[in-house]
Structure 1
Amino acid sequence: MGTGMAKVEIALDAELVVEVMVLAGIGNPRDAVEAVVRDYVARGHRTEERTGEADARLREIDAKPRIEEG
């Protein structure tokens, strides 16, 4: 995360966080959860690049009829 990025505070089940810390091999709870979230996002982007899912989703959104307001 770059400087100036908004931060979100959340509460997580302690057992879940400890499990993430052990699996990630990171002793700091915040760093461990952040590492897992970053990995999840990176994997999602790689999957989208391989499958073209992002492009397909964008085409689907563009193809939906728009409701004109006014």
Structure 2
Amino acid sequence: MAKVAISLDAELVVEVMVLAGVGNPQDAVELVVRDYIARGHRTEARVAAREETARDDETRPPETQG
């Protein structure tokens, strides 16, 4: 996988390291980015499931009461 080098504020990185419980700045930032991406995928999956349920409800014929 290709690598990218970026510059971040040291205080920001230290805070991420403390919150992530990781002693390596590279690992800490990578964990945060991976978590952010995973959270986005989970949100997309929930929205898609909700839209599918709504679509199914629209296509079902109304139930007759008797």
TM-score of the superposed pair, with normalisation by structure 1: 0.67
Structure number with greater Rg is 2
Give per-residue Cα distances to partners, 1:32-51, cap 9 Å, x unaligned.
Answer: 00000000000000000001
Q: Higher RCO, 1 or 2 (CA under 8 Å, sep at least 6)? A: 2
Report the Cα distance in structure 2 between the residues aligned to 1:37 and 1:29, rounded to whole angstroms.
12
Runs of 4+ in 1 over 6 A off after TM superposition: none
Q: Which has the higher helix share?
A: 2
- The 5 A counterparts of 1:17-32 are 17-32=13-28
Report the Cα distance in structure 2 between the residues aligned to 1:28 and 1:7, rounded to whole angstroms.
16
Q: How many residues align?
A: 49
Runs of 5+ in structure 2 lacking a partner? 49-66
TM-score of the superposed pair, with normalisation by structure 2: 0.71
> What's the Cα RMSD here?
1.3
